[in-house]
């Protein structure tokens, strides 16, 4: 099974062809294509590891822009009457991996 490890938005993702991945928000239109550089690539029998990048490109199509589920940040100190509650939703872009080449 072929897969690659890509880097975008300061995070790394293990992707395969046809997979839909939620990556940190990209400033692209829906339907646009984007290319990511591969850090690692394998075709099932051989593994190639970049130092730091490979010449492999991973092409993907932007499906939608959305926001993740809310994360609650709650700070509490007992007996001090200290409570702070904040919520946060992270923006993301859903991309479909088209080819690993």
Closest CA to 58 of 21, 29, 25: 21
| pTM, to two decimals | 0.84
pLDDT digits (tens, 9 = 90+) for 29-62: 999 999 999 999 999 899 999 999 999 899 999 9
68-84 tens-digit pLDDT: 999 999 999 999 999 99
Domain ranges of the chain: 3-100
- Residue 1, pLDDT > 90, answer no
Tell whether the model's pLDDT for residue 14 goes beyond 90: yes
Q: Which helix (H) or strand (E) holds 4?
A: strand 3-8
Q: Check residue 11 and give left, alpha or beta (phi > 0: left; psi -120 to 50: alpha).
A: beta
Distances (CA, A) of 96 to 1, 24, 69, 77, 99: 17, 14, 20, 44, 9
**Taking residues 6-26, what's their average pLDDT?**
96
């Amino acid at each position: 099974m072929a897969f690659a490890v890509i880097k975008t938005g300061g995070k790394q993702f293990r992707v395969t062809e046809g997979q839909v991945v939620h990556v940190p928000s990209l400033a692209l239109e829906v339907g646009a294509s984007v290319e990511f550089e591969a850090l690692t690539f394998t075709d099932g029998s051989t593994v190639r590891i970049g130092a730091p990048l490979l010449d492999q490109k991973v092409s993907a199509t932007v499906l939608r822009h959305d926001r993740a589920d809310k994360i609650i940040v709650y700070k509490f100190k007992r007996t001090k009457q200290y409570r702070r509650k904040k919520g946060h939703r992270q923006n993301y872009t859903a991309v479909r991996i088209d080819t690993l080449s």
